[in-house]
Amino acid sequence: MSCHLKRLIRLITIWQCAPETKESPPRKRKYQRKEVVFLNTFAKKTPEPRTLVLLRRTTRTEGGPCLHFETRQTVLLRSMNDFAVLNTGRKMPLLGLGTWKSEPGKVKQAVVWALEAGYRHIDCAAIYGNEAEIGEALQEILGPSKSLRREDVFITSKLWNSRHHPEDVEPALLKTLKDLKLEYLDLYLIHWPYAFQRGESPFPRQEDGTMLYDDIDYKLTWAAMEKLVGKGLVRSIGMSNFNSRQIDDVLSVASIKPTVLQVEGHPYLAQIELLAHCRDRGLVMTAYSPLGSPDRAWKHPDEPVVLQEPLITSLAEKYKKSPAQIILRWQIQRGVVTIPKSVTESRIKENIQVFDFTLEAEEMNSITALNKGWRYIVPVIEVEGKRVPRDAGHPHYPFNDPY
């Protein structure tokens, strides 16, 4: 325990125990209790285990405050995040770790590094194929006598397209919870607004390579999602890759309103109109692929590279930050939750070091003005030897609308 913390506890203990003077008239005391976590910070590296101090404040209606302390020995992992407040009142960390394309064998360590670096938000999905390994990391770190409590970390997952049938929604969630070794999710999203053919295959195809779809209305899927909240299996529900019309379609029937819309978002796809649409309806936006997903298998050699944009690189030089940090700062500064993916320890640590500087208003506007409606993430398939948009012919395909 640091010497500064020892002095603080000693000082408050004396204050707490100081006797009333003889002149003090007897008085009846009423107490209003409130627990606050006091997070001690250290200038130098401290020996483990570090100390988590629970500050219990008791306020009297008459007289001064009375403070009580209790200590618990644990490995304290300090959060580095600010939060967005959902329409449920719950807090969602503005920066999280994305896990799409995080390979098995690497994602467990990536999650551990992220939580140790101060991340308190992990974004998952059943279709990513790595939730069981993520669950191993969570099991190691989360628990009453471990580094973090379950309630300290915000965990998201997503319902895949082949599980849209109302009878399949809860079993799909239970499989995710089993893999992640959790009792509940903080957020569960419908991954895409259209349904694939019901069954075990995540990508059911016809002989010519085109997809097999189902005609399930996503509003029926939403009603099944609402039941998960009532059962305490998820805290909040939302959508991914829905457009503005589809958002309003869900809102027209929702008993439980969506809290979050997750979509691709970066300076070349600033989602200006869609972000305004979400805010008008009380939704928080999450941006996936915020750095342009440069490790995509279908990356085209002549596509624009947002990390090489001259404005971004000049701001990086000005603030002595990386281009990635400038982009991430732009997103969180405009209130967009951001989930960069990495399995490299140095990049994981770098990506969260964005809360120690602020972009000027003119700089924020200049970055937003880079918007050109460019999508890096458009699912494609090969049909008769040609790569074509995978789902563009589906009536619920979201990218045919303006936003």
Query: Quick one: how far is CA 147 from the chain centroid?
Result: 19
| Confidence grade of residue 381 (pLDDT, cut at 50, 70, 90) | confident
Whether 128 is catalytic is yes
Beta-sheet strands, E only, within 220-347: 234-240, 260-264, 284-288, 337-338
Q: CA-to-CA distance for 165 and 196, rounded, in angstroms?
A: 10
Task: Report pTM.
Answer: 0.80
- The token pair at 291 is 């750095």
| Confidence grade of residue 296 (pLDDT, cut at 50, 70, 90) | low
Note the pLDDT tens digit of each residue in 98-107.
999 777 889 9
Class of domain 83-400: alpha beta
Residue 77: what pLDDT? 62
Domain boundaries, the chain: 3-16+28-73, 83-400
The catalytically annotated residue of 31, 119, 128, 288 is 128
Lowest mean pLDDT among 280-284, 292-296, 343-347: 292-296
Q: Please count the other Cβ atoms lying within 10 Å of the Cβ belonging to residue 21.
A: 6
Give the mean pLDDT of 224-239. 98
Residue 190, sorted as left (phi over 0), alpha (psi -120 to 50) or beta, turns out to be beta
> Do 48 and 74 touch, CB atoms closer than 8 A?
no
